[in-house]
Structure 1
Amino acid sequence: MPGGDRLLLAAVLLTAANLRAAIAAVGPVLDDVRADLGLSAAAAGLLTALPVLCFALLAPASAAAGRRLGAGPAVLGSLLLLAVAQGLRVLDGSPVLLAGTLLAGAAMTVGNVLLPAVVKAGFGRSAGTVTGLYTAALVAGAAAGAALTAPLAAVLGWRGALAAQGLPAVVAAAVWARAARRAVAAGPAAAAPTGGAALWRSPVAWAVTAVQALHSTLYFSLTAWLPTLLADRAGADAATGSLAASVFQVLGIAGSLLVPAVLARRPGQTGLALAVAALWTVPVAGLLVAPGGWPLWAGLGGLAQGAGIALAVTLVVLRSADAGTAARLSGMSQLVGYGVGAAGPVVVGALSQASGGWTAPLLLLLALGAGLAAAGVAAARPVRIG
């Protein structure tokens, strides 16, 4: 790989590692944050919900920023905003915390939307493999953020631990500034505004979007409710629930690496899409019929969530004819996908409360797994959009 490509790859991977860590870092210190600031349960929930809502609602604006500024400068600006936001949110008081969280969500949305365009423009035939690598970096960054926050908080307090999450964004921005000349190749293509309406009429674009939506719903639902589900169905204590949640998140790294490995051997995506759907369906069925086997189900779910996000992003890149289409398709899939995904935990929780148990919610998740298989097969058709 030429030196410029290696530099751009480093910038992409470092950027990806920052696109979930700000969310994952909150959970380990949430009790300390609530005790210090007197946050209600609803306000505490916003610390996770706000970034996900940004992923949905600000996706079109992020694509527009890429068209106006070029993908490279827009991503660089978002990294600097992310670093500032993570320092801002710990200054004082719950309004500042929520405002900083909102800014961090907006910054991460830009990277979510525009990195596929950068990869499409910068890596050509290797775009699918690079996409898999950067989704692995995204999952690894989230896992690292969750794992390191508690030890840092023991030394620095929760404010210092959360503020420290901005340092990787500064490092990524420094590398990105050097790589921006390669990334700017995505700018002119992304600037072309044509084809937007046609994209929303494309069955393949909607199939790609459905993959994102169904995967996001499964992921956020289990992320929110897995410890509670195990407590209710398997009598698990808090430590066991926390361990299951950690396994679910950490094994996502391995799952995300499966996608480039499979694509390197068999470039078609149909079998991969069916495998990802099966990886989701088996652990959900296991939690339904044998919740005591949670170590296996949490592990398979972790593989599913890592492979699922890698598949969703890879499909955006592979189905797009050029970088501009990749930016627009990324914006469409994230607008709809994260909007649906953010509602998943709410619907699952309400269904559990209304039915008095977890059978109905798990049956719903099984149905979503079947839908993911169908959407994945449709999105895997060798068709280029744009």
Structure 2
Amino acid sequence: MSASHRRLHPAWIIAGILVFATNLRGPFTAISPLLDTIRDTFGMGSSEAGFLITLPLLTFCIVSPFAGLLAREYGLERALFAALIVMAGGIALRSTGPSWALFVGTAVLGGGIAIGNTLLPSLIKRDFPSQITKLTAIYSVTMGVVSAVGSAMVVPLLYAFNWQVSLGAFLVLPIVSALIWLPQLRRHSRPSADTAAPPHGGPIWRSPLAWQVTLFFGINSFVYYAVAAWLPSILVDLGYTQGEAGSLHGTMQLASALPGLLIVPIVQRARDQRGLAVGLALAGLVSLIGLKLFPLIAIVWVSLFGFGIGGAFIVALAFIGLRTSSAQQTASLSGMTQSIGYLMSATGPVLVGLLHDATNDWSTVLMVCMAMCVVLAGVGLGAGRAIHIDTHRPTKQPRLNH
């Protein structure tokens, strides 16, 4: 860590990273157990309801390429603080009641999450270059645990109050995070151009390895958001109550956090990550087959899905740091991965809604996601190679401790 970045104790910086991570998934995915209620309230079809999940993903792909420019102008710390304020505004707006506020607030929330998703890896790369994999895993675990609690919490809050209160409860996360993040704002030395990613083009966009990392992220996100958005509705159609479906959705989110406890030592010991990427993709495939054939033990399949696809998400995030050789490259690859990857994933919830409206069952949906898991495994063979984007030379695995 450079001298200009030592004004805060590293433990406080890590704490700031972790509390920031609580905002990056839970406020977004916890709407899924409420989709049926929201559909009934506003008379929406499945595709319209799916657009509530797609909307922030589209915002991700629009905003992500410009997050690096925001960091260059104002600094990483201030850009991330601004993201928290934007997220708080989005959560507050979508909880006010009208349908327009629900959609606009969801889009605003997505903009804040996009900035955080893009810049947090750069902050870790800059301040903790030897602990990229470890910190990526830890903040991914944090995201998963908070998402699990949120998914399990929203249905009881719905029964006790209404869907607006259920969604509004997440406002506490960015507010508390902003308070903890405030000391970071003292670190306002003139930001380096290293943190700026071009909004489009540039050498990294012509790298085959960069595209493999981006596709691995995008396909994994497609499968995750397509299933996560509609899992409660799928489970209700399979005979589970709305409360049970919400709890199982939370179980899936919790299971997605568990790989973070196991991925770090595997990445450390492995010569590359090809076997790990393929294995996690195939775990997602098996879970979807199991849910289709043996729905009575859904808890097994949603747990396996969360573990497999959640683990692949951690690996995808780690690839951003492991396949680059500087903070500038990390920011560039992060912007490319987030924008293109989330554009791909944005089609998932709407496509699932359209398929369900057309077929009136979930079998076709599950089979499409199974096929995508197979493709994910193939892409993982390329993205998992231990090489850098710039020279394609073998990379050294980062140490997990200073």
Shorter-normalised TM-score: what interval?
0.7 to 0.9
Identify the residue that residue 133 of structure 2 maps to in structure 1: 128
Contact 1:72 1:187 in 2 (8 A): no
Instruction: Please list the CA deviations of residues 257-295 of structure 1 after superposition, one character each: whole Å capped at 9, or x if unmatched.
Output: 332242244463222212211211211222344344422
User: CA, structure 1 residues 158+354, in 2 after alignment: closer, same or farther (shift >3 Å)?
Assistant: closer
Q: For 1:139 and 1:70, locate their aligned partners in 2 and report how far apart those are by CA, in whole Å.
A: 28
Partner of 2:311: 307
Judge conservation of contact 1:70–1:188 (CA < 8 Å) in 2.
Answer: no
* Residue identity matched to 1:124: P
Amino acid at match of 2:317: V
- Structure 1 match to 2:399: none
What is the aligned partner in structure 2 of residue 90 from structure 1?
95
Partner of 1:274: 278
User: Could you give the per-residue CA deviations for residues 176-222 of structure 1, whole angstroms, max 9, x where no partner exists?
Assistant: 22134569797441137599521111111011011111111111222
Higher mean displacement: 324-333 or 217-226? 217-226
Partner of 1:373: 377
CA drift at 1:344 = 2.0
SS at match of 1:382: coil
Structure 2 CA distance for aligned equivalents of residues 351 and 219 of structure 1 = 17
Counterpart in the other structure of 1:262: 266
Partner of 1:202: 207
Shift in CA distance, 371/295, structure 1 to aligned 2, threshold 3 Å = same
Please state how far the C-alpha of 1:301 moved relative to its aligned partner: 0.5
If the length of structure 2 is used for normalisation, what is the TM-score? 0.84
* Partner SS, residue 258 of structure 2: helix
Which deviates more from structure 2 when the two are superposed, residues 307-316 or residues 174-183?
A: 174-183
Aligned match of 2:21: 16
**d(CA) in 1 for partners of 2:151 and 2:380?**
30
User: CA offsets, 1:102-131, max 9 Å, x none?
Assistant: 211111110011111111111011111101
Give the Cα–Cα distance (whole angstroms) in 2 for the partners of residues 80 and 349 of structure 1.
31
Map 1:318-357 → 2, pairs under 5 A: 318-351=322-355
Q: Distance in 2 between matches of 1:242 and 1:203?
A: 40
- What is the alpha-carbon distance in structure 1 between the residues aligned to residue 267 and residue 136 of structure 2? 11
Aligned to 1:117: 122
**Deviation sequence 1:11-41 (CA, Å, 0-9, x none):** 1111111012222343455566567x74634
Q: Provide the secondary structure at the position in 1 that maps to 2:388.
A: coil
Residues 1:253 and 2:257 are matched in the alignment: yes
- In the other structure, the counterpart of 1:226 is 231
| CA contact 1:82–1:104 (8 Å) conserved in 2 | yes
1:214 maps to a residue whose letter is I
C-alpha separation in 2, matches of 1:347 and 1:30: 16
Identity %: 32
Please name the residue that 2:400 is paired with.
Answer: none
The CA deviation at 1:76 is 0.8
Give the letter for the 2:89 counterpart. Answer: V
Structure 1 portions without partners, runs of 5+: none
1:152-231 equivalences under 5 Å are 152=157, 157-180=162-185, 187-191=192-196, 196-230=201-235
Query: Map of 1:52-63 to 2, 5 A cutoff?
Result: 52-63=57-68
Aligned to 1:384: 388
Question: Closer, same or farther in 2 for the Cα pair 1:366/1:158, shift >3 Å?
Answer: closer
Q: Is the 8 A contact 1:120 1:323 kept in 2?
A: yes
Q: Deviations over 1:215-268 (max 9, x none)?
A: 111112222343454566x55555554443332222112133332242244463
1:312, distance to aligned residue in structure 2 (A): 1.1
Q: Which one-letter code corresponds to 1:294 in the other structure? A: A
Check if 1:69 corresponds to 2:74.
Answer: yes
Distance in 2 between the 1:347 and 1:325 partners? 33
For residues 204 and 70 of structure 1, what CA distance do their matches in structure 2 show? 28
Taking the TM superposition and a 5 Å limit, the aligned residue runs for 1:21-32 are 21-29=26-34
Q: Describe the shift of the 1:327–1:368 C-alpha distance in structure 2 as closer, same or farther (beyond 3 A).
A: same
Aligned CA RMSD, in angstroms, stands at: 3.1
Q: 1:203 to 1:182 in 2, by over 3 A?
A: farther
Structure 1 pair 4–223 and aligned structure 2 pair: CA distance change class (3 A)? same
Q: Which moved more, 1:184-193 or 1:4-13?
A: 184-193
Report the residue type matching 1:278 in the other structure.
Answer: L
Whole-angstrom CA distance in 2 between matches of 1:263 and 1:202? 23
- Structure with bigger helix share is 1
Equivalent-residue separation in structure 2 for 1:89 and 1:285 (angstroms): 35
Amino acid at match of 2:260: S
CA displacement at 1:383 relative to structure 2: 1.9
Q: Is the 8 A contact 2:33 2:249 kept in 1?
A: no
- Number of residue equivalences: 384
Mapped to 2, the partners of 1:290 and 1:157 lie a distance apart of 33
Moved more, 253-262 or 70-79: 253-262
Please tell me whether the aligned partners of residues 25 and 145 of structure 1 are also in contact (alpha carbons under 8 angstroms). Answer: yes
8 A Cα contact 1:128 1:260, kept in partner: yes
User: Matched residue of 1:167: which SS?
Assistant: helix
Structure 2: gaps spanning 5 or more residues: 391-402
Q: 1:196 to 1:180 in 2, by over 3 A?
A: farther
Shift in CA distance, 71/192, structure 1 to aligned 2, threshold 3 Å: same
